[in-house]
Amino acid sequence: MWNESLRLECFIKCKGVLRGGAEVAVKRISQENDGVREFLAEISSLGRLKQRNLVALRGWCKKDMGNFLLVYEYMDNGSLDKRVFCDESMMLNCEERIRNIKGVAFAVLYLHEGWEEQVLHRDIKASNVLLDKDMNGKLGDFGLARMHSHGQVASTRKLVGTVGCMAPEVIKTGQALTRTDVFMFGILILEVMCGRRPMEEGKPPLVEFVWGLMVKGELMNALDERLSAKGDFNLQQVEKVPKGWEALC
């Protein structure tokens, strides 16, 4: 792992270029608020995790007093939400959306079962899934992640996460579990396939919206209407996705 001797030849907003020309993404974290704790969480978790559907941490350095920089692999196409909640000319088609959902599922399985310790991400959502040059999604942003031994229960009781994505029991108790990560993954499925954010002004919450359609036997009507209008989906593929929606509801 690099230390403060690492130097960036170019630092522009959140993109950097290392000696040799390799492009990287750079995240600045301040000591203000819980910045140091967030920094240490990312270093201790993401720095040791190796899975193709997780954003790779390349290194870190201390830029100046009170500021740290995390250096990641560069993801060319930004975050998943920018390719779902966008103009039709830029949005992902149905096949690409399903492929990214599968990728995040593999990442979550690895975090929960595939590593030496169990990792709770605690903030799974479309804006924390980044897309590479081939539009393949990778789960990132481990600032809220917590690790513990398999078979143990996480001791944290602090309420963290994103409103509209958290499981009801987390809101009541503050305790994160693997199943609360899975709940967030379910919300991610709804975001990506419905083309709606978990909470939107003037509209019912996304889970409530999908639940209402499921009760009426009209779950397929939850599909992003822009995809439906274009006929831009494989019916057999899409019919498999509601099983995940039903499990969530």
Helix (H, G, I), strand (E, B) or coil at 172: helix
Signed CA dihedral, 222, 206, 89, 92: sign only: negative
Catalytic residue numbers, as ranges:
123
Closest C-alpha among 51, 53, 55 to residue 70: 55
User: Cβ(41)–Cβ(142) under 8 Å?
Assistant: yes
Identity of residue 172: K
- C-alpha span between 30 and 98 (Å, rounded): 36
- C-alpha span between 185 and 166 (Å, rounded): 10
